[in-house]
Amino acid sequence: MVLVTVLLLTLTPEERQSFGQLAAKQDQDGDLSTAPSCPFLSTLIPTVRCNKTSGVGSIRKFQQSPNSSAAPAASDKIVTVCPTRFLQPIAAGKTVFSWIAEKMLDIPGAIVVKETPFLRKVLDTRR
């Protein structure tokens, strides 16, 4: 199963049910082995699976419409909540990272380097 960026409103009830059951199962047992491929992280590591339960990459504010159904809030934008979404190509095939490197750091052609094993969290040993 390959997950593409989809809006909740475009899913059929069956698809919503399937994604909901998958997210609930992952949340219960913490097993991400059945997670779909991450379309953004896969740009660095082909076919890598989504590494978070629920698989939610972005959120959006909704409001109740006059006919009692939900509709995206007027002038509201989709907000990214998953850091791997920043690997998504934007204008001219560039990622947010490469855009920042060019515009703010004056570094054309920068590449993304994934976590490196020598950078580890320092544990607080004072107890």
Strand (E) or helix (H) holding 64: strand 62-64
49: β partners: 37
Q: 3-state DSSP call for residue 87?
A: helix
**Six-digit token pair at 35?**
């997670």
Taking phi over 0 as left and psi of -120 to 50 as alpha, with beta for the rest, 56 belongs to: beta
pLDDT of 7 reads 65
Render pLDDT for 16-50 as a digit per residue (tens, 0 to 9). 888 788 777 777 777 777 777 887 777 777 888 88
pLDDT score, position 29: 77
Alpha helices in 1-126 (DSSP H): 13-29, 96-103
List CB contacts of 37: < 8 A, sequence separation 6 or more. Answer: 1, 2, 3, 47, 48, 49, 50
Contact 52, 41 (CB under 8 A): no
Residue-wise pLDDT tens digits, 43-85: 777 888 887 767 777 788 888 777 777 777 877 788 888 878 7
pLDDT at 4: 40
Residue 62, H or E segment: strand 62-64
Per-residue pLDDT at 2: 33
Which is more confident, 4 or 18? 18
Q: What is the pLDDT of residue 106?
A: 93
Statement: residue 3 has pLDDT above 60: no
Residue 5 pLDDT > 60: no
| pTM: predicted TM-score of the whole model, two decimal places | 0.50
Q: By C-alpha distance, which of 28, 17, 82 is closest to 52?
A: 82
